[in-house]
Amino acid sequence: MTAQLQFRNLTLGYDRHPAVHHLDGAVETGALMAVVGPNGAGKSTLFKGVVGTIKPFAGRIDRNGVSPQDIAYLPQVAEIDRTFPINVYDMVAMGLWRMKGLFGSIGAKDRDTVERAIAAVGLTGFEPRAIGTLSGGQMQRMLFARLLLQDARVIVLDEPFNAIDAKTAADLLALVRQWHAEKRTVLAALHDIELVKANFPETLLLAREPVAWGATADVLTPENIIKARHMCEAFDEHAEACVVAA
């Protein structure tokens, strides 16, 4: 197996303060990996680095030939203008962007694909609804339908099940498992330890620095979780420059 993502001494952050500090390791192709850690542990920052919206302070990320724009990314807080006059169908159809680009026409076959994606997330019948009328869970289902259409080899989900009811989370989790079965590489930031243990074979426990990374059962031990919590509470406005060799 080859690594889909390789982190080499990766440091990411904001205003010179590292949020992810000296991360080394590889995500194998087809891995289904949970990223767990307290708030402020650097999970979102790591994902932003993976999809290329922020540049590393030091080190690098090798993506094994996949360009950042070919990675499907569900941000924790989507910057969606919910008052914008657009319906569910058109919003989902945007997932075809990579194939269609600016000008590609959407034919009967594509419309079929869009309909199937909408059906797969259980939103059939909602197509003509304005996005502003959706509930939080329906919104998340719609965004998953868009992810389905993106048909990406690498999928990055930042806290996809927050504020989502159990039924919706279970439905969406089924899609995640399906992506895994299709040998896509999936990274998901999660807080629900039980959900991770039940569904994710591999886990990275992050607290700015990696606490543990490997098989979920070995990583999510009570000792590691407590350690992660302590490591995270150490922001220093006047920290010295880091001296670890780059």
Partner 1 sequence: MYDLLIAPFSEFEFMRRALAGTIALALGAGPIGVFLMLRRMSLVGDAMAHAILPGAAIGFLISGLNLFAMAAGGMLAGFVVAIAAGLIARSTELKEDASLAAFFLISLALGVTIVSLKGNNIDLLHFLFGSVLALDDQTLVLIAGNVTVTLIALALIYRPLVLECVDPGFLRSVSRAGAPAHLAFLALVVINLVNGFHALGTLLAVGIMMVPAATARFWARDITVMLLIAAVCGCIAGYAGLLLSFHTSVPSGPAIILVAGVLYVVSVLFGRVGGLLRQLFPGRHLEA
State in angstroms the smallest separation of the CB of 90 from partner 1. Answer: 8
Please answer whether residues 78 and 57 qualify as being in contact, where contact means their C-beta atoms are separated by less than 8 angstroms.
Answer: no
Near partner 1 by CB under 8 A, which window of 85-93, 112-120, 162-170, 178-186?
85-93
x/- site string to partner 1, residues 14 to 53, per CB under 8 A? -------------------------------------x-x
Task: Report if residue 99 touches partner 1, rule: CB under 8 A.
Answer: no
For partner 1, the binding residue among 73, 126, 200, 213 (CB under 8 A) is 73
> Which residues lie below 8 Å from residue 195, measured CB to CB, with a gap of 6+?
161, 169, 173
What is the DSSP secondary structure assignment for residue 244, as one 8-state letter? S
CA 72, chain centre distance (Å): 8
Task: Report if residue 86 touches partner 1, rule: CB under 8 A.
Answer: yes
Q: Cβ closer to partner 1: 132 or 214?
A: 132
Nearest to 151 by CA among 114, 121, 124, 193: 114
- Which token pair is 134? 């959706």
Nearest to 96 by CA among 81, 75, 110, 79: 110
> Which residues lie below 8 Å from residue 173, measured CB to CB, with a gap of 6+?
161, 195, 199
x/- site string to partner 1, residues 197 to 216, per CB under 8 A? --------------------
Task: Report if residue 103 touches partner 1, rule: CB under 8 A.
Answer: yes
Contacts with partner 1 by CB under 8 A lie at: 51, 53, 68-69, 71, 73, 75, 78-81, 84-87, 91, 94, 97-98, 101-103, 130-131, 146, 150
